[in-house]
Amino acid sequence: MSGVWVRTRSELREQRRQRPHQCWDHLLAAPLWPKYEANLGTLLRTCDAVGACLVVPRRRWIDEAIARGNTLRHPSCVHRVGDPFDWLRRQRAAGSAIVGVELADDAVRLADLPAARRRTVMVLGNESDGVPYEALSMVDTVVEIPMVGRGHSLNVAVAGSLVLYKLAGLL
Ligand SMILES: C[S@@+](CC[C@H](N)C(=O)[O-])C[C@H]1O[C@@H](n2cnc3c(N)ncnc32)[C@H](O)[C@@H]1O
């Protein structure tokens, strides 16, 4: 392909929203049992890109990790929750769709996942143990990203970012 013009930073800045990100409360990325701080910063950046909110447990190391890993210059939307299971139960009871991201039998393949049509919570698993069974019993849909390589799984922030883009209808 010839004649490709790569947009400059100032061109990109003009094309982006001018006002700070606010809570749209429509699409929520929920790494509710996080282990590694680097993944939170990566997920926060994807949340900003697609207009989603990040939901994390209320812990000091998580706040510090998000502050360190947030390479965006503007504030982002972060919700802090107490007991993740209790929070998830209340989201479900209030009518939100709960989408679990996990390697599971009978999961929907990413390509077949429709964009979110109502308030949707995307639940991500712990880096070692995945999504707890108690949480899987609360999901409406489980989505799996097909893999053909030898690794067991993707990095959680990569998996979450791919699914967020699909849910946001931007892929
Ligand atoms: C590193 S994985 C968990 C480890 C996994 N249980 C294993 O045995 O390798 C962390 C999380 O990333 C997400 N994940 C990673 N790869 C995925 C894939 N291919 N499809 C769906 N979710 C995935 C899931 O939320 C998972 O719980």
Tell me the C-alpha distance between 51 and 32, whole Å: 19
- Through-space distance between the first and last CA atoms of the chain, rounded to whole angstroms: 22
**pTM (predicted TM-score):** 0.92
CA of 159 to the centre of ligand 1 (A): 7
Neighbouring C-alpha atoms within 13 Å toward the C-beta of 113: 31
Q: Give tens-digit pLDDT for 94-152.
A: 999 999 999 999 999 999 999 999 999 999 999 999 999 999 999 999 999 999 999 99
Q: Give tens-digit pLDDT for 24-69.
A: 779 999 999 999 888 999 999 999 999 999 999 999 999 888 888 7
Tell me the C-alpha distance between 10 and 14, whole Å: 6
Nearest-atom index, ligand 1, CA of 131 = 27
CA of 18 to the centre of ligand 1 (A): 35
Burial of 26 (0-12, 13-18, 19+ CB in 10 A): middle
Provide the residue type at 133 as one letter. Answer: Y
Q: Which of 163, 170, 125, 124 lies closest to 145 in space, CA to CA?
A: 163
Instruction: Give the pair of three-digit tokens for residue 15.
Output: 């094309």
Residue whose CA is closest, atom 2 of ligand 1?
A: 127
Helices of type H across the chain: 9-15, 37-50, 60-69, 84-93, 133-136, 156-168
Instruction: Determine whether the shortest distance from the Cβ of 43 to ligand 1 is under 6 A.
Output: no
Residue whose CA is closest, atom 10 of ligand 1?
A: 127
DSSP label at residue 112: G
Q: Which of 89, 66, 105, 98 lies closest to 163 in space, CA to CA?
A: 98
